[in-house]
Amino acid sequence: MDEKTKDLTMTGLLIALVTVATMMITIPVPATEGFIHAGDGVIFFIAVFFGRKKGALAAGMGSALADLLLGYSMWILPTLIVKTIMGYLVGYIAGKGTRPHIGILDIIAVSVGAIWMASGYLVAGSFIKGSLSVALTGLPWDLVQGFGGVALFIPVALAIGKTQLFKQQTH
């Protein structure tokens, strides 16, 4: 298989992984008209281990697809924007060359990603709801989701980072 085909296939699989992780277990949050899910932990893993490009594509497209399939259509465009930037930002901060070891820069990267996500949804929610004060009621839930993703990322990344898969190949 040539490199372009391999890259396209991997990107498609990562998008599907984010979609499934986002949809698998959902906890509805009436304050945000959204839900808490494990998708952010997967996005963080992809952005750190596969880089900013795959992180951005998988985050934006996978999360927006999950919103579409779960019936959260008003959030598709904001999700596409917020999660694409989140995936890129995490991958950019984490950088390349530190794999397979998880370091402090990776923890900073995913924490910044969680804060960005919550902030992005605050802005989007302000427009969708027509009120910053109404959108602020969802901020704690978005922070729970984001930092829940950080908490999921750390042990999974540490475990998978020790496998032969990532010792033999990076990004």
**Adjacent-strand bridge partners of 29:** 34
pTM for the structure as a whole: 0.91
CA angle in degrees (0–180, nearest 5) for 75-87-46: 120
Predicted local confidence at residue 105, as pLDDT: 92
Can you tell me the distance from the alpha carbon of 59 to that of 81, in angstroms, rounded to the nearest whole number? 10
Tokens 């839900």, residue located: 35
Whole-number pLDDT of residue 166: 63
Cα separation, 13 vs 25, whole angstroms: 19
Tens-level pLDDT at each residue, the chain (171 residues) = 799 999 999 999 999 999 999 999 888 888 777 788 999 999 999 999 999 999 999 999 999 999 999 999 999 999 999 999 999 999 999 986 455 668 899 999 999 999 999 999 999 999 999 999 999 999 999 999 999 999 999 999 888 878 876 665 544
Angle (nearest 5°) at CA 122 between 51 and 50? 5
Tokens encoding 147: 């930092």
Backbone φ, ψ for residue 2 (5° rounding): -75, 165
Predicted pLDDT at 171: 45
Residue with tokens 């602020």: 136
Domains of the chain, CATH where assigned: 3-168 (1.10.1760.20)
What is the pLDDT at residue 91?
96
Close Cβ partners of 90 (under 8 Å, ≥ 6 residues apart) = 43, 44, 47, 48, 52, 55, 109, 110, 112, 113
Q: What is the pLDDT of residue 80?
A: 98
What local confidence, expressed as pLDDT, does residue 167 receive? 61
Q: CB count, 10 Å around CB of 42? A: 26
Q: Do the Cβ atoms of 110 and 45 come closer than 8 Å?
A: no
Can you give the pLDDT at residue 149?
95
